[in-house]
Amino acid sequence: MKEKNYYREQERSKLHQEIYRLRMLEGMDVSSIRKKFGMSRGSVYYVLATFEKEHPQQAALMKKQGKDVTPEDYKKLQEEIARLKKDLAQERLRADFYEEMVAFGKEAYGIDLKKAGTK
């Protein structure tokens, strides 16, 4: 179930990035974006606003890219995003492993590790 949500979140993130890119880099108007993705105007504005809040550095560079940012800068951003996503996936695996370890400790040895560490 977690994998399904993770991939759904990735798809949502890619969609938001594409909408923001079309608006800021391509200069596409909101009504065209709305028609292209089958969204309401309010949804498009919501995506634009939330993308800026969730990815302020990327949004700032995308706004700037139309004028001053080189393709090399954009590529660096894409590489950083890929690296961060990889790190996030690894940390999620680590957290799942710890949860399984705690469950195994309780099942096999009767020790509740969640309570043992907090006093």
49-86: pLDDT as tens digits: 998 898 888 888 877 765 556 778 788 889 999 999 99
Q: Token pair of 118, please?
A: 């907090």
To the nearest whole number, what is the mean pLDDT of the chain? Answer: 85
pLDDT at 2: 63
Tens digits of residue pLDDT in 88-118: 999 999 999 999 988 888 888 888 877 655 5
Higher pLDDT, 55 or 3: 55
**What gap in Å lies between CA 104 and CA 40, rounded to an integer?**
48
pLDDT band at 25 (very low <50, low <70, confident <90, very high): confident
Q: Is 38 left (phi over 0), alpha (psi -120 to 50) or beta?
A: left
pLDDT at 66: 58
- This prediction has a pTM of 0.52
